[in-house]
Structure 1
Amino acid sequence: MSTDEYPDRLRWRVNGERTLYDNRWVRLVQVDVQAPDGNRWWHHVVRLNRVAVAVVLDDADRVLMLWRHRFATNEWGWELPGGIVDGTEDGAAAAARETEEETGWRPRLPLRRLLGYQPMPGMVDTPHEVFLAHGADKVGEPTDTEEAAIIEWIPMTEVRDLIDNGKVLGSGSLVGLLLALTAERR
C-alpha cells in the first residue's frame, strides 16, 4: 500500500504551533493537534537539529568508534562519530567533518548515504542520516574538545556483543552499526 492510499480519516490534523522555548540546540513547541478520533489538544514536541552519523570501516574490517560518557543519562558507551548538520551543509559533508573533528581521522570520499530516519517521531522531530565510508586517513588529533573520548577501531566481529551488552549508545550508532552488520556486509 502506498502512502497515497491511506485513508484520510486516519490522519492527524495540525491546527497550529507555538514555541515555548528556543535556543541553538533545542526548540520545545506545543502543537495544536486533532487526533483521528476527533479529540483536540496541545501536544508537546521537541524539535532538534538534523544529525549526520558516519560508519567508517577500514580494510581490516573494523569500525571507527568513540568511548564516551553521556551526562544526560549518566552512561558510558561506544558511539559512531557524528553530530549536527550546520545550516545548509550537506549531510555527507557533515558526517565527514564531524568524524574528523571528533576523531582526527578524515573519511575517504565519497561517503554513501545509507538511510534517513526519525528516531522518535511521536514527540521528537530530529532527522537523522547515516553515511558509510570505506577507509580514513589520520590527519591529526581531534579538534572538538567537547566531544573528548577514547577513539578506537573496533573489529566488526565484536560489534554485536557490544550491542547485546548495552555498550552502544544512541540510535544513530545502533542503526548505523546494525546496517553495517546486515545489509552493508553482503
Structure 2
Amino acid sequence: MADEHGAWKTFGERTIYDNKWVRLGLTDVQAPNGERWDYHVVHLARIAIGLIVDDRDRVLMLWRYRFPTDQWGYELLGGLVEEDEEPAATAAREIREESGYQPIGEAEHLISFEPLPGQVTAGTEVYLWRAAEKVGEPTDTEEVGRLEWVPISRILELAQRQELLGAGALVPLLYYVASRGTGNAAGQDQAPEPA
C-alpha cells in the first residue's frame, strides 16, 4: 500500500485467469503522479532452482529448446515448489527428475530474486550443491534435452551469445561467477585482505 515516499497505491485486484501454473490479475493502481488505472499482473508459482558445481569447476545444465521464444540454450535444473514442500527439497527433487543426478550434502542457499518485478511475481530461490551422483535416468519426460557439465569458465561467453535461457539461468550463474573469491556464500576462496 501507499507510504509517505510517494509509492504506488493499490485498491484491490480481481482475477481474470487462474490455473496451477499462472494467475492473471487486474490490479486497480494509482501511480505516484496520481494517475489511476487497471494494471495487469501475472502471478506465477514459486520456483526453486539447483546449481550443482562439481570439483572440476563445471555446472550441470540442460541444453534444450523453448518454443515461446523459439530459442535453444542452457538452463539450470528446477521447477515449481509444491504445496508444503521446502524450496531446497524442490530443487533437489527437480534435479533428480530432470537429470538422474542426486545432489550430495546440504543445500546452500545462493540467492533469491524476482525475475520480472514490473509485471510478474515469480519468487525464485536458488540452491547450490558442490557434488552430485548419478542415481538413474531422468524421469521427467517433459524436460527433454541434453545434459552437460559445462565449465564455469564458459558462463560469460554463453551469456554473451544468449545461450543461457532466462533469468533462472542468468541470475544464479552470473551471481555465482561474480561472488567467487569474495568470501560470499558461493565463493570458494576468501577475498584477499587489503594491503
TM above 0.5, one fold? Answer: yes
1:107 to 88, 93, 103: 103
1:47 to 43, 47, 52: 43
The C-alpha deviation readout for 1:17-48, integer Å capped at 9, x for no partner, is: 10000111111110011111111111000000
Structure-1 separation of matches of 2:6 and 2:139: 48
Supply the AA of the counterpart residue of 2:108. Answer: R
Shift of 1:122: 0.9
Structure-2 separation of matches of 1:109 and 1:98: 16
For 1:45-124, what aligned pairs fall within 5 Å after superposition?
45-124=41-120
Supply the AA of the counterpart residue of 1:130. Answer: V
- Which structure: greater helix fraction? 1
Please say if residues 52 and 128 of structure 1, whose CA atoms lie closer than 8 Å, have aligned partners that are also in contact: yes
SS at match of 1:10: coil
Shift of 1:148: 1.1
Shift of 1:170: 1.1
Please say if residues 54 and 176 of structure 1, whose CA atoms lie closer than 8 Å, have aligned partners that are also in contact: no
Query: Partner of 2:150 in structure 1?
Result: 154
Query: Partner of 1:4 in structure 2?
Result: none
Supply the AA of the counterpart residue of 2:70. Answer: N
The C-alpha deviation readout for 1:119-156, integer Å capped at 9, x for no partner, is: 11110011011111110010100000000110011111
Relative to the length of structure 2, the TM-score reads: 0.89
Relative to the length of structure 1, the TM-score reads: 0.93
Alignment RMSD: 1.3
Verify: 1:31 aligned to 2:27, yes or no: yes
Query: Partner of 1:16 in structure 2?
Result: 12
Shift of 1:9: 3.7
Query: Partner of 1:126 in structure 2?
Result: 122
Structure-1 separation of matches of 2:22 and 2:148: 30
Report which structure shows greater RCO (CA 8 Å, sep ≥6).
1
Unaligned runs of 5+ in 1: 1-6
SS at match of 1:52: strand
Please say if residues 57 and 64 of structure 1, whose CA atoms lie closer than 8 Å, have aligned partners that are also in contact: yes
Supply the AA of the counterpart residue of 2:29. Answer: V
Matched residues, number: 181
Structure-2 separation of matches of 1:123 and 1:26: 13
Supply the AA of the counterpart residue of 1:174. Answer: L
